[in-house]
């Protein structure tokens, strides 16, 4: 039975076209859902991410940081960008 489907050109054409439609949609969905650049996050969202990942700001505590007990301008915590990228690879 699998041999019949693999030798059927219309089936292979439809299967390939379906794959070419689904893959870009999935990639776009994944990028938009994770929103690594955090452009749409408010202060509460950034604060949650900073507390969960144990980081401060995007590149450093000076860039898009939300002030908390552990995150302030002279904080020694690293930025969240690298940890966001690692999270994306795991997701």
pLDDT in tens, the chain (91 residues): 566 767 888 888 888 899 999 999 998 888 777 765 656 778 888 888 888 888 888 888 888 778 888 888 888 888 888 887 887 778 7
CA distance 56 to 78: 6
CA distance 77 to 20: 42
Residue with tokens 């995150």: 71
Domain residue ranges of the chain, discontinuous segments joined by +: 1-34, 40-91
For 11, 13, 72, 87, the CA distances from 4, given in Å and listed in that order, are: 10, 14, 65, 42
CA distance 66 to 63: 9
pTM (2 decimals)?
0.52
């Amino acid at each position: 039975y699998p041999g019949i489907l693999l030798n059927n050109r219309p089936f292979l054409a439809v299967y390939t076209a379906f794959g070419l439609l689904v893959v870009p949609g999935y990639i776009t969905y994944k990028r938009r859902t994770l929103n690594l650049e955090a452009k749409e996050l408010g202060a509460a969202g950034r604060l949650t991410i900073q507390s969960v990942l144990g980081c401060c700001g995007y590149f450093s505590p000076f860039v898009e940081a939300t002030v908390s007990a552990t995150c302030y301008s002279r904080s020694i915590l690293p930025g969240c960008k690298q940890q966001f990228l690692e999270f994306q690879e795991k997701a």
